[in-house]
A and B are shown apart, each in its own frame.
Chain A
Amino acid sequence: MATMVSSAPSQRSRMRRVLASPTTARVLFPFFVIALWYAIYFAIDSRIFPTPLRVAEFMWEEVTLTSGVRYSSVAENLYVQFAISIARLTLGFFVAMTLGTLIGLGMGVSKSVDAFFHDWVVAVLAMPALVWALFFAVAFGFGHLAPVLTVIFAGIPFVIINVREGVRNTPKELIDMAKAFEVPENRITRHVFLPSLMPFFFAAMRYAYSIGWKGLVIAEVFGSQVGMGWTIKFWYDAHRAHGVIGYAIFFILFALALEKLVFDPLARRAFKWRPSMNAYQLAEGDFSGVTQEGLLVQEDQIGTTMEVRGMEGGPQDG
């Protein structure tokens, strides 16, 4: 019987292992969603609720420009709508990143700058993107300005908070090291301070991008006559659910593509010194190696403990 232990796994148990693997689970998920979708479709028997096939058909027509729908005189198809939204997002994103980084740096470095901006940042953070969208549409009309401002105001508090935390988490023990070796200030800034800020900066970028995207769509629904958000509303007004769902899926696909094709490679490049790190760990701004050392260094500071810690072979066994 002992030889049986080392024999190859049976056909059945291999099958079970394949079925239980995470990859199988991941692949199964879309099928599950589509099955559920069909179940609901047949259960509610609605004339408006579309089948997945109808949505796919719609998306194909949009991509190949065969639907024949002209949205408006300005933006007649998917690509133009997307281009307008991306241009607005990009502009708002860069302004939010630049201003947010400057304010975050100021708040991290100086207590009075922090006090000056603090309540304002909390207030902006608490404001829903919808309110910005409505307010800017009323104030500036249905042009490009309102959506861009919404992107900026929705994203900037996250940039400020992340950059400020980054500055506060500057690895003091590495800077002390550099000072002990009399490394000049500008080299310390470039090689110690800025790299230590990078995880926080990347987290800020991801937030500004994803929150900005959501803010933009809301702003375009309520305060624009072109763009992705407006197109979703166009299909909503036309009572065509396949249009709403189709554009929502375009939106998700684009967001995922940008994440995989731009942010992930950028992060991999910037953090190649941490090979095991993936994008989601980075977003947490975790800096375990350095902070651990920080704790160790603090141990020997004055007046912390009264015990004679670690005196090897101390008086008791001397």
Chain B
Amino acid sequence: MADIKVQNLQKEFGVGEDRVVALENVNLAISGHVFVSIVGPSGCGKSTLLNILSGIETPSSGTVTITQDSHDAEPGYVFQAARLLPWRTVMDNLMFVQREKDAAARERCQRYLDMVQLGDKGDKYPGELSGGMQQRVGIARAFSIEPDVLFMDEPFSHLDAITARSLRRELHQMWVKTKKTVLFVTHDVGEAVELSNRILVFAKGGVLKDDLNVELPFPRDPSDDAVAVAKAQVLRKFEELDLVAS
């Protein structure tokens, strides 16, 4: 688990007339074993926020503080596309991100491959796996470094509905089992309602518009009435907030 504090975060791209504000004075605090979804229209800075939190990009101004249980741990990251090294086997892809290349690391990688039901695919190359399986490897890779915090950037948006649904269920179980802090970017409101305790709503221009709590018991079945009602409420909220206009 981890505590994340974001203060007065600002991110701009370009200068002069080409200047685009990606994130506008964002403040938020996330702490403990929570699953936080970040939703909003395209170009609202969701991915940029994740990239800054994970250190891929630097903020224009403002501060980000991440306090973790284990000292000096890297965050785990699951991308929109699996982003596996095509010239490495599945197992080597997991080993690539391990700090120590010892037997313990190998055993840990195997355990997480088992957890995403790819325990017997360790010596396959990514090109030999389906899109859903590749994304599973990406998830196992993120978990295999046992991070306190896990960043996920629309990890299921390129998968077919059935594969995405079963992976969502797996992810939820892994989150329960491993007690991570998860930040999950999505444009799928149903997905956000199904998985998260908390939903951060961003509008165009990178403004944090709302911070919703989803108080439904887990596990949540998307075909369940209560979940459908919650989803409808969130969507109504979106309409009130008028996320595209600003």
Interface residues of A (CB under 8 A from B): 173-174, 176-183, 187, 191-192, 195, 198, 271, 273-275, 289-290, 293, 296-297, 299-315, 318
CB distance from B230 to the nearest CB of A (A): 13
Chain B residues near A181: list those with CB within 8 A: 74, 76-77, 97, 141, 145
Name, among B74, B76, B97, B151, the residue most crowded by chain A CB atoms within 10 Å (CB to CB). B97
Say whether B88 contacts A191, CB under 8 Å.
yes
Decide: A303 near B20, CB < 8 A? Known: A296-B158, A308-B42. yes
Contact of A195 among B45, B56, B85, B231 (CB under 8 A): B85
Say whether A174 contacts B85, CB under 8 Å.
yes
Q: Which residue of B lies closest to A317 (CB)?
A: B235
Decide: A297 near B80, CB < 8 A? Known: A192-B85, A289-B127. yes
Say whether A302 contacts B22, CB under 8 Å.
yes
28 A-B pairs (CB sep. < 8 Å): A174-B85, A177-B83, A178-B96, A181-B74, A181-B77, A181-B97, A181-B141, A192-B85, A195-B85, A273-B126, A275-B127, A275-B128, A289-B86, A289-B127, A290-B86, A300-B46, A300-B153, A302-B13, A303-B43, A304-B42, A305-B42, A310-B187, A312-B188, A312-B191, A315-B235, A318-B232, A318-B236, A318-B239
Binds A, one of B47-55, B175-183, B208-216: B47-55
Say whether B45 contacts A302, CB under 8 Å.
yes
Decide: A173 near B81, CB < 8 A? Known: A274-B86, A313-B189, A318-B238. yes
A315 to B240, CA, bound (A): 10
Say whether A308 contacts B41, CB under 8 Å.
yes
Chain A residues near B8: list those with CB within 8 A: none
Say whether A174 contacts B42, CB under 8 Å.
no
Decide: A302 near B86, CB < 8 A? Known: A296-B80, A297-B80. no
A172 to B80, CA, bound (A): 14
The binding surface of chain A is classed by DSSP as loop
Chain A residues near B191: list those with CB within 8 A: 312
Name, among A181, A183, A305, the residue most crowded by chain B CB atoms within 10 Å (CB to CB). A181
Say whether A173 contacts B187, CB under 8 Å.
no
Contact of B235 among A191, A271, A289, A313 (CB under 8 A): A313
A8 to B52, CA, bound (A): 67
Contact of A187 among B41, B96, B127 (CB under 8 A): B96
Contact of A173 among B22, B83, B188 (CB under 8 A): B83
CB distance from A180 to the nearest CB of B (A): 4
11 extra interface residue pairs, beta carbon distance < 8 Å, beyond A300-B42, A304-B43, A311-B189? A273-B87, A275-B127, A296-B81, A297-B79, A302-B20, A303-B13, A308-B41, A310-B42, A313-B231, A315-B235, A318-B236
Chain A residues near B79: list those with CB within 8 A: 173, 177, 297
A303 to B17, CA, bound (A): 13
* Number of B interface residues in the complex (CB < 8 A): 51
Chain A residues near B41: list those with CB within 8 A: 308-309, 311
A187 to B20, CA, bound (A): 34
Say whether A183 contacts B97, CB under 8 Å.
yes
A191 to B45, CA, bound (A): 31
Q: Which residue of A lies closest to B235 (CB)?
A: A318
Say whether B83 contacts A302, CB under 8 Å.
no
B119 located at the interface, meaning its Cβ lies under 8 Å from any Cβ of chain A in the complex: no
Contact of A182 among B45, B74, B127 (CB under 8 A): B74
CB distance from B146 to the nearest CB of A (A): 12
A195 to B128, CA, bound (A): 18
Q: Which residue of B lies closest to A187 (CB)?
A: B96
B157 located at the interface, meaning its Cβ lies under 8 Å from any Cβ of chain A in the complex: yes
Chain B residues near A301: list those with CB within 8 A: 43, 47
Chain B residues near A290: list those with CB within 8 A: 86
Chain B residues near A299: list those with CB within 8 A: 42
Chain A residues near B231: list those with CB within 8 A: 313
A313 to B232, CA, bound (A): 9
Name, among B96, B141, B153, the residue most crowded by chain A CB atoms within 10 Å (CB to CB). B96
Q: Which residue of A lies closest to B13 (CB)?
A: A302
Contact of B127 among A176, A179, A195, A273 (CB under 8 A): A273
B32 located at the interface, meaning its Cβ lies under 8 Å from any Cβ of chain A in the complex: no
Say whether B43 contacts A180, CB under 8 Å.
no
CB distance from A195 to the nearest CB of B (A): 5
A178 to B141, CA, bound (A): 11
CB distance from B144 to the nearest CB of A (A): 10
Say whether B85 contacts A179, CB under 8 Å.
no
Decide: A312 near B77, CB < 8 A? Known: A180-B55, A180-B56, A302-B48. no
Chain B residues near A174: list those with CB within 8 A: 83, 85
Q: Which A-B residue pairs are the 10 nearest by beta carbons?
A: A318-B235, A181-B97, A293-B81, A180-B77, A308-B41, A177-B83, A273-B125, A182-B74, A195-B87, A312-B188
A290 to B46, CA, bound (A): 23
Say whether A183 contacts B96, CB under 8 Å.
yes
CB distance from A188 to the nearest CB of B (A): 9
Q: Which residue of B lies closest to A289 (CB)?
A: B86
Query: Which residues 180-197 of B sit at the A interface, judged by CB distance below 8 A?
Result: 187-191
B75 located at the interface, meaning its Cβ lies under 8 Å from any Cβ of chain A in the complex: yes
Chain B residues near A271: list those with CB within 8 A: 87
Q: Which residue of A lies closest to B22 (CB)?
A: A302
